[in-house]
Amino acid sequence: MTSKGACIVTGASQGIGRATAIALAAKREYSSIVLVSRNLEKLEETKALAGNPDNMFALPFDLEELEGIPAMVSSVVRDYGDIDLLVNVSGYADPKPLFETDAHSLEKTFRVNVFALTLMCREVAKNMRGHRCGKIINIASTAGSTPRPGWISYSSSKAAVISISQTLTAELAEYGVKVYCVSPGRCATDLRRKLAPEEDPATIMQPEQVAEIIDNLSGDTGNALDGQDIVVRYQPRL
């Protein structure tokens, strides 16, 4: 039985976003789960993997189109009601060392990882402010808090996500909105394969393990953890 309003998951076509959408659907707590990504076909795959629940909806949208974000969020509110949860998972990486990094690479990385995320927070928080409750969960990375030579644009963008999340925790508290930041370590996603193509994905953390943390934060048990950089690492059993 649903007890909460709508939920938006960006980057829901694969990896952590897909695993999060499936985990949230299993609990049947949200009246609607809106999946956002550029790739409609992959969003439909996510729905199928979740069992095609009648409260899960695919919304194809390119988050690089920053000017369209306000209208996109407004359409969610219009079609599915007030938003109780936003999970910002969408990310982009183009790993290059400093001397090979150019303005285009920096701009695109920050456009997706920082600018779009911030605008999603802003537009969703406008709605949450109106009903004085809600949770925003931003996905950063341990790359945002530890040195990663050769990943300067990605690492710095994730450092920004950590800072944005901590700032919004304080800024939105008066409206009853809680903001969380989850920083996964090495995780078997398409993005990770791009960053470390030589790595065996079976030996590192799986998206479902990160989704479990996100799912827990979305519930009442995570209320005391807002404002923290929640690091999630996989420790293999020997």
Catalytic-residue membership of 30: no
Return the closest-CA partner of residue 73 out of 59, 92, 57.
59
Return the closest-CA partner of residue 121 out of 90, 156, 86.
86
Side by side, the strands of the sheet bearing 83-88 are 56-60, 30-37, 4-10, 83-88, 134-139, 177-184, 229-232
Name the strand (E) or helix (H) holding 45: helix 40-49
Q: For 98-153, what is the HEC assignment?
A: HHHCCHHHHHHHHHHHHHHHHHHHHHHHHHHHHHCCEEEEEECCHHHCCCCCCCHH
Name the strand (E) or helix (H) holding 178: strand 177-184
Secondary structure letter of residue 221 according to DSSP: G
- Candidates 154, 175, 180, 234; catalytic one: 154
Active site positions, annotated: 154
